[in-house]
Amino acid sequence: MRHLLLAAMLATQLSGQVFLVDINNGHGTHFTQIAAAVAAVPDGAVLLVEAGVYSAVTITNKSLTVIGEPGVIVEDIVQPFRIIGLSATKAVTLRQVSWRAVITPSTLICQNCAGRILVDDCTVDLTVVPTGGGISASSCDRVFIRDSRFERNSISDACIAADQSNVTIEDSWLRANRTGIEQWDGNVHMSNCWMQTYGSSFFGSIGVWMHGGDLRINAGTTLVGSTGFATPAVAGNGTAVIDPSTVLQTIAPTPYTSGILVTSLAMPSLTATTQGLGGTATAALDVPMASLGAIAASLPASPYLSPWNGALLWVQPVPARTVGVGPVLQSSYAVPNATWVLGVQITWQGAVLTGSSISISNSSTYAHY
C-alpha cells in the first residue's frame, strides 16, 4: 500500500523537500535505496520509506527526517546505520525504522554530534541475528529515544551505550542479557520505561552501569533483574537521582552499589504526544494538590543546569505555554497541515511549585510526522 501522506503531497505538489524511497520502485519513487537518497537530497529533506530491506546508511552532518512504513529494515554485515558529525544546527529524526547486522550485534552508531538526534518508534530486528542490539552514542549532545524497543542477547555491551553524551529515554522497552544501559559521564534520563536484565550469575547482570556522570530515573519506570542473580539496579560510580515510585523487581537487596551517590526525589511526570499533520499536539503534567504547575515547549535545547535540585532543562529559556493547577495540567497546539512541519522536533518540560520548592519534570521530545 502506497504511503497515503506522500500520495496527497504528490497530488497537490506541496513540497519539493519530500522524497519517496521504495526498494520496489513503485509509482512515484524517487530513490530505491535510503543511502542514495541521503547522499542526494538537500539538507532538511524528508524521506518517506516504503517497507523493505535496505542497505547500510550513513548520515553525515545533514538534517534529515526518515519516516518509515511498517517493515522498513536497514541491514549490513556489521554496521547498518550511522549518524555522525552533526553540527549544532543539524537535526536527524528516525521514525519507525528497524536495523540489523548479519554477523554482529545490530547497533545504531551516533558519533560526534552536536546536533539533535531523535529515534522514535524504532526497533532492532532479530530475525537474522538473535543477539539483537541497540544504540551507541559517543560524544553526542542530544540523543532522544522515544517509544522504541531494543533487545541485546549477547553477554557483551548494553542495549544503550552513552559515552560522553546526553541521552533521554522515554516510553521505551529495553531487555539485555548483561547490561541495560552503560554510561560514561554525561547525562542519561529515563522516564516511563521498562528495562530488564536477565543474565546468569556467572556473567553477572546490571541494570545501569555507570562510569561517572548523572543518571535520573523518573516516575513510571520499572527495572527488572535476573531471577538467578542478585542484580543491582545501578552499579559503578556516579550520581543518580531516583524517583521513589520507581518499581524494582527481582533486584538485589542493596539496589545501588557503594560508588553510586543516590538521591531519592519525587519528580513530576510529564507526557507529550502529537498527531499527524492537521491534528493536535498535547502535553500533560501531573500536579499534586495545593501545587502550581507550568509547562513549556520549544525546539530541543542542549541540556543546561537549572537552579532547582540540580535538574537539567532540555527546553530553551522560553515563557511557559500553560500555568495552572492540577491534578493534571494540559497544554496543546494545532499541528499545521503543511509539509514544512514534517520532522520538526519539539521538547516539552514541566515544573511544579509546592510552597517555596520547585521540582522539574522529565522532558519529552517528538518530531512531527
Q: How many CB atoms lie within 10 A of CB 123?
A: 20
Q: What is the mean pLDDT of residues 95-119?
A: 95
For the segment 299-325, the average pLDDT, to the nearest whole number, is 92
Share of the chain above pLDDT 70, in %: 94
- The answer to whether residue 196 is domain-embedded is no
Measured CA to CA, the distance from residue 351 to residue 271 in angstroms comes to 13
Check whether the bond before 317 is cis (ω within 30° of 0): no
Of 46-50, 102-106, 294-298, minimum mean pLDDT range: 102-106
Claim: this prediction has a pTM higher than 0.85 = yes
The verdict on residue 332 lying in a domain is: yes
User: Is residue 299 situated within a structural domain?
Assistant: yes
Supply the pLDDT for residue 202.
53
- The mean pLDDT of 25-36, rounded to a whole number, is 96
345: domain CATH number?
2.20.130
Q: Are residues 143 and 11 in the same domain?
A: yes
Domain total of the chain? 2
- Structure confidence at residue 129 (pLDDT): 79
pLDDT at 128 over 80: yes
In a domain, 109, yes or no: yes
Residue of 99, 97, 150, 143 lying closest to 118 (CA atoms) = 143
pLDDT above 50 (res 230): yes
Q: Nearest 5°: phi and psi at 367? A: -125, 145
How far apart (Å, rounded) are the C-alpha atoms in residues 110 and 105? 15
Give DSSP secondary structure letters for 172-231: -EEEESSEEEEEESSEEEEES-EEEE---TTT--EEEEEEEEEEEE-TT-EEE--TTS-B
Average pLDDT for residues 49-56, to the nearest whole number?
98
b/e burial code for range 186-216 (CB count within 10 A of at least 16 → b):
bbbbbbbbbbbbbbeeeebbbbbbbeebbbb
In a domain, 224, yes or no: no
Provide the pLDDT for residue 3. Answer: 44
Q: To the nearest whole number, what is the mean pLDDT of the chain?
A: 92
Mean pLDDT of 307-320: 90
Whether residue 60 is contained in a domain is answered as: yes
pLDDT in tens, 200-215: 655 568 999 999 999 9
pLDDT at 286: 95
pLDDT at residue 4 tops 90: no
25 shares its domain with 150: yes
11 versus 42: the higher-pLDDT residue is 42
Which residue range(s) make up the domain with 105?
4-154
| DSSP assignment letter at 6 | H
Decide which of 131, 154, 177 is a domain's last residue. Answer: 154
Per-residue pLDDT at 14 exceeds 70: no
- The residue out of 105, 129, 154 marking a domain boundary is 154
Question: Where does a domain end: 87, 122, 154?
Answer: 154
Kindly indicate the confidence band of residue 7, based on its pLDDT and cuts at 50, 70 and 90. very low
Instruction: Tell whether 356 is covered by a domain.
Output: yes
Asked if residue 74 is part of any domain, the answer here is: yes
Contact 228, 206 (CB under 8 A): no
Predicted local distance difference test score (pLDDT) of residue 11: 34
